[in-house]
Amino acid sequence: MVEQLLQERCGRQLSSCVRMNTRLAGAEFELNCGLKQSSRRSTEQRERSHVSGMFDGEDIDLDLDLKYHLQTCTCSCNHMGFGNYMDYYQAGYPDVHQTSRPSTSGNIRREGLCNGQVHRGREYESPESSVTSDRDHKKTVYEIQVRPCAGIVLVIIGVVVLFIWIALPSSFEAPGSFSSHQEETLEVVRRILEEVPLIDGHNDLPWNIRKFVHNQLMYFNFSADLTTVEPWSKSNWSQTDIPRLKKGMIGAQFWSAYVPCGRQHLDSVQTTMEQIDVIRRLAETYSSDLQLVTSVKGIREAHKARKIASLIGVEGGHSLGNSLAVLRTFHSLGARYLTLTHTCDTLWAGCCSGLDSPDNEQQGLSPFGLSVLRELNRLGMMVDLSHTSVKTMEDALNYTLAPVIFSHSCAYALCTSLRNVPDHVLKQVALNDGIVMVSFYSYFISCNSTSTMEQVIAHINHIKNVAGEDHVGLGAGYDGINHTTQGLEDVSHYPRLLISLMTNHSWTENQIKKLAGNNLLRVFSKVEKVRDEWKEDGMQPVEDILVPLNKEPLLPNCTDGYNIT
C-alpha cells in the first residue's frame, strides 16, 4: 500500500531508492508504535539511531542492506526521516557543527520523496528550545544533505561546459548563438549590408522547383520554412527559402536557369525558356519580398526598398541551341549572364569535365564561340566562366572587352578540382577587372565531402591575395549542392562568414563591402558601360549564318542547322 502511494506521488517507476524508503517507512511505523508503548527509549538513543548512523546496540533493528543503503546512497532524499550518507559524513567529522536534537514527535514530512525534487526532511528542534525560539537558527536535513551535493554537481557541470567550449571550434556554435564580441560585429555587418547589398552569384532553386513540383507554383510555398515541408526537408539539395534568405541578409540573388546537358540537341532551348519563366513568375508571386531586376540600378532600387533583387543567369551554352537569336531572346526575357558551358562541351566551347588535369589538350572557343562572346558584350550580359576548360577561360579573357565573372568557383591552388580557377587565370581576371565568386560546395573547397568555414575563408583569402580584394565575391551554389560547408549549411549563414572574416582574419569594413556586393556591382556596371558605348558607336547584332533549307543540317535537329564554324 505504501509502495502504491509513493508511486502515485512520484508519477514514475519506483526506483530502488524509493523501494528502500518503503521498507524504512515500515521501520518508522514500528518506531512510533514502540515510543507510544514504552517511555524507556531515551532521546539520546533516538538521536544516535537517526543522525549518527551507528545502529549497533540500538533498539531499532534495521536490516543490514537498509543500513548499507543509508550509508552509501548518494541521492538527496531523506529516506523517510532516517537521513542519508551526508548524515554519516557529518558524524565522521566532529569539527562540523552538530545539528540540534530531533524532536520526539516523529513528525516526518512525506512530500517530495522522489529524487530530482526538493526533499524536505524532519526539522530538528532542541527539546530546550521554546515555541517562540527563532526559527531562522534551525537546521534542516535539507540544508545538511542537499547544499553540499548541489555545490559538487555545479562544479562538475561547470568543468564539463568549460571543456566543451574549449574543445569545439567556432564553426560548431549553435545557429544564432554569438559571443558578446560577435554580437557587436554582427551589428557592424548589419549596418554594412544595409548600405551594400549582399549579392550571391548562383542559386539552383528553379531546378528544384521543376524537380519537386514540376514548376507548379501553386504547390510551392516559398514563404514557408522548407526545412519542415516535404520533399524539401528530405532533400540534401534544398537550402533556400524566403525566411532563411532574410536571415542571411541577402540583398540580391542570381537564380540559375539551368538545363541538364542531356537536353543538348533536343529541347534545351524550350526547357531553358520554361526555367526563365518560372523565375519570373516566382518573383511576381512573392513580390512583397522579391523584385525581378536586370541592371545595377535595379539592384540598388530593390535593396533600398528592402526587397531581394532577383536576377537570371543561364547556366550552359548548350541552352542556346547554337543560335545567337536565342541568346538575344534570353536577354530580352531578363537573363544577365551566360555560363559558356556546363558539364559538357558544346560545338563552340570546351568545358572542364572529363579532363585529368588542366594541362590536358582542351577545347577552347571556336570562331562561333567568339561571336557568342562578342554578342554578350554588345547586349550587356556578363560572361560566366565557371565550368569551362582553362583554354576556354584563356580565350574568353583574351577576347572579351568587358569584365568576366566566375559565378561559383574556388581556387585550384587549394583544391585541385578542375572546376576551380588556377592562379595564372586569377591574375588574368585581375587584369580583366573581373571577379571570382566563391562556392561553398565541399568538393570545390576541400576536394572532399566535408569542409569547414575556415577552408572557405582560405579560398577567399587566396583569391584576394593572388587577384586582389577587388576581384573576389560570393557564389555559394545553394540548391545545386548536396555537400555544404559546416557552418554555412544554407542561405541563412552568410553573416556568420562575414563576422568570422572581421573578427578572426582582420578584414576591414571596406573589404567586407567589396566582397559582399560592391565588386560585383562594379563588374556589372562596366559590362553595362561597354554595352552603352557600343550602342553609341552603332554596333549591330551578330547575324546567324543559317544553312539553306535544301541542305542537311549539321546534326539531326533543327536547332543545329546553323553554320557555327
Residue 292 lies in a domain: yes
Is the confidence at residue 64, as pLDDT, over 90?
no
According to the model, what pLDDT value does residue 269 have? 97
**H or E stretch including 313?**
strand 308-315
Residue 171 lies in a domain: no
According to the model, what pLDDT value does residue 183 have? 86
Residue recorded with cell 524504512: 24
- Average of per-residue pLDDT values in the chain: 79
Residue 545 lies in a domain: no
Residue 564 lies in a domain: no
Residues 237 and 295 in one domain: yes
Residues 148 and 199 in one domain: no
**Which has more pLDDT, 232 or 166?**
232
**Which has more pLDDT, 22 or 301?**
301
According to the model, what pLDDT value does residue 42 have? 45
The total number of structural domains that make up the chain: 2
Domain enclosing residue 203, as ranges: 182-536
Is the confidence at residue 550, as pLDDT, over 80?
no
According to the model, what pLDDT value does residue 76 have? 53
Q: Crossing angle of helices 296-304/519-536, nearest 10°? A: 140
Output b/e per residue, 169-179; b: 16+ Cβ within 10 A: ebbeeeeeebe
Residue 128 lies in a domain: yes
**H or E stretch including 435?**
strand 435-438
Q: Kindly give the residue spans of alpha helices, DSSP state H, lying in 214-315.
A: 242-247, 268-285, 296-304
Length, in residues, of the chain: 565
d(CA 237, CA 491): 12
Residues 222 and 138 in one domain: no
Give the three-state DSSP class for 543. Answer: coil
What percentage of the chain reaches a pLDDT higher than 90?
A: 61
Residues 153 and 251 in one domain: no
According to the model, what pLDDT value does residue 111 have? 40
d(CA 308, CA 250): 7
Residue 559 lies in a domain: no
Residues 403 and 356 in one domain: yes
Query: Residue 208 phi/psi, 5° resolution?
Result: -65, -35
According to the model, what pLDDT value does residue 466 have? 98
Is the confidence at residue 524, as pLDDT, over 70?
yes
Q: What pLDDT digit, counting tens, does each position of 388-414 carry?
A: 999 999 999 999 999 999 999 999 999
Residue 541 in grid coordinates: 547584332
Residues 145 and 47 in one domain: yes
Residue 177 lies in a domain: no
The CA-atom distances, in angstroms, between 481 and each of 104, 441, 447, 451 are 75, 6, 14, 13
Residues 188 and 92 in one domain: no
Most confidently predicted of 129-133, 155-159, 179-183, 452-456:
452-456
d(CA 171, CA 175): 10
Query: For the residues 208-237, what does the mean pLDDT come to?
Result: 96
Query: For the residues 550-561, what does the mean pLDDT come to?
Result: 55
In which band, very low, low, confident or very high, does the pLDDT at 119 lie, cut at 50, 70 and 90?
very low
What pTM was estimated for this model as a whole? 0.68
Residue 514 in grid coordinates: 567589396
Q: Crossing angle of helices 64-72/16-37, nearest 10°? A: 120
Give the CATH number, domain containing residue 221. 3.20.20.140
Residues 190 and 130 in one domain: no
Residues 195 and 150 in one domain: no
Asked if residues 479 and 240 have their Cβ atoms less than 8 Å apart, the reply is yes
According to the model, what pLDDT value does residue 58 have? 43
**C-alpha distance across the termini of the chain, in Å:** 97
Q: What pLDDT digit, counting tens, does each position of 422-471 carry?
A: 999 999 999 999 999 999 999 999 999 999 999 999 999 999 999 999 99
485 beta partners: 488
d(CA 88, CA 507): 62
Asked if residues 275 and 312 have their Cβ atoms less than 8 Å apart, the reply is no
Residue 191 lies in a domain: yes
d(CA 497, CA 494): 5
d(CA 474, CA 89): 64
Residues 375 and 505 in one domain: yes
Asked if residues 351 and 387 have their Cβ atoms less than 8 Å apart, the reply is yes
Asked if residues 523 and 382 have their Cβ atoms less than 8 Å apart, the reply is yes
Q: Which long-range contacts (CB under 8 A, 24 or more apart) does 269-273 make?
A: 269/319, 269/320, 269/321, 269/323, 269/326, 269/559, 271/319, 272/314, 272/319, 272/330, 273/333
In which band, very low, low, confident or very high, does the pLDDT at 294 lie, cut at 50, 70 and 90?
very high
Residue 331 in grid coordinates: 536577354
Q: What pLDDT digit, counting tens, does each position of 315-369 carry?
A: 999 999 999 999 999 999 999 999 999 999 999 999 998 766 665 567 999 999 9
In which band, very low, low, confident or very high, does the pLDDT at 26 lie, cut at 50, 70 and 90?
low
Is the confidence at residue 560, as pLDDT, over 70?
no
Residues 220 and 332 in one domain: yes
Residue recorded with cell 529524487: 115
Residue 282 in grid coordinates: 516566382
Nearest to 67 by CA among 79, 29, 75, 121: 79
